[in-house]
Amino acid sequence: MLPFFLTLGGIIADYVSTTIGLGMGLCEINTQYNPLWALLVYWGAIMILYLTCYQKKLWTVGANAVALTSYLGVINNTLSILRVFPGS
């Protein structure tokens, strides 16, 4: 269950940081982005890992790795908000 909660936290944090950035006048590059679709994609990937990995340790490592990638959007948004990226 941990990977599902990690992913949910990452998607919510990404949505919040995107909303903050949009409020500051930044624009979203992917105009089709929707947090619900992102959640479905991540949870689908975790379920595929669960169904294909027979070893519990391998599944745990893989699922947690997939779940943690959901935080990359938060990192990107935070760096954009802090004006670290040139052109933002």
**Token pair of 74 as six digits:** 């938060």
Q: Is residue 73 part of a domain?
A: yes
Q: Is residue 86 part of a domain?
A: no
CB 87 within 8 A of CB 29: no
Q: Is residue 24 part of a domain?
A: yes
- The percentage of residues in the chain with a pLDDT greater than 90, rounded to a whole number, is 50
Residues in the chain: 88
Mean pLDDT throughout 34-59?
87
- Dihedral angle of Cα 69, 74, 76, 79, to the nearest 10 degrees: -140
Instruction: Name the residue range of residue 70's domain.
Output: 2-81
Confidence label for 4 from pLDDT (cuts 50, 70 and 90) = very high
Mean pLDDT throughout 52-59?
79
Mean pLDDT throughout 40-64?
86
The pTM is what? 0.84
Q: How many domains does the chain have?
A: 1
**Token pair of 59 as six digits:** 């599944």
